[in-house]
Structure 1
Amino acid sequence: MENVKWIYGSYKEDNRIFDSEIQAEEWVDALYPDFVPYLFNNINVGYATPDEKVIKYLANYLPEWTRYNNVNVSIHTEKTTKDGQVIFKIWTQQKI
């Protein structure tokens, strides 16, 4: 998890737990422009959220985004606890 550019803290929705799967999926789709500059420039990028649904959709979308941008990465996930709150993380790691 070294050298990861975390896309987190820029939006009020970062700490939100969405009410529905559709809302979570729409949020993930809206994150595409935030991820692409890093993916395209071979920079490891990640996202952290208390909403497991968001990570589930990112786990589905990230491989599509990397293939579309011709980027070769592996995708990692982790579940941690911070100040009593569960945080889900997902990030890319460039393949050499």
Structure 2
Amino acid sequence: MGAAEWADSLYPDIVGDGFVNVGYATPDKKVADFLIRHIPRWAEYLRTHNPSMPAVTVGTSTEMVDRLLLYKVWIAPEVN
């Protein structure tokens, strides 16, 4: 399974609770990059059908855990 397919498979987990403080960590940079690009698209698509959903911001960071570089991607409600 490629990075795009793997990241797409996370869609139900990420949008299931209406984009409320969801995060994902992966050692695969391609998966993280895909999520960074597509989470805002997923959020906007959902907001077109449910305007009461909050806009979201995407945060990113990296962390070394047991000599393994993890790419972290998370979302939080947008603060105006």
| TM-score for both structures, normalised by structure 1 | 0.70
Find the residue that maps to 2:16 and give its secondary structure.
Answer: helix
- Structure 1 residues 33-66: Cα deviation after superposition (integer angstroms, max 9, x where no partner): 111112x2x5110100001110000011101111
Q: Partners in 1 of 2:11 and 2:5 — Cα distance?
A: 10
Percent identity between matched residues is: 38
Look up the equivalent residue of 2:16 and give its one-letter code. P
**Alignment RMSD (CA, Å):** 1.4
The equivalent of 1:6 in structure 2 is none
Of the three residues 58, 66, 71, the one matched with 1:83 is 66
The equivalent of 1:25 in structure 2 is 4
**More RCO (CA 8 Å, sep 6+):** 2
Q: Partners in 2 of 1:76 and 1:56 — Cα distance?
A: 12
Q: Which moved more, 1:49-58 or 1:69-78?
A: 69-78
Find the residue that maps to 1:69 and give its secondary structure.
Answer: helix
How many pairs does the alignment contain?
A: 73
Of the three residues 37, 41, 48, the one matched with 2:16 is 37
Find the residue that maps to 1:80 and give its secondary structure.
Answer: strand
Q: Mark the runs of 5 or more structure 2 residues left unpaired by the alignment.
A: 48-53
Find the residue that maps to 2:64 and give its secondary structure.
Answer: strand
Cα deviation for residue 93 of structure 1 reads 1.2
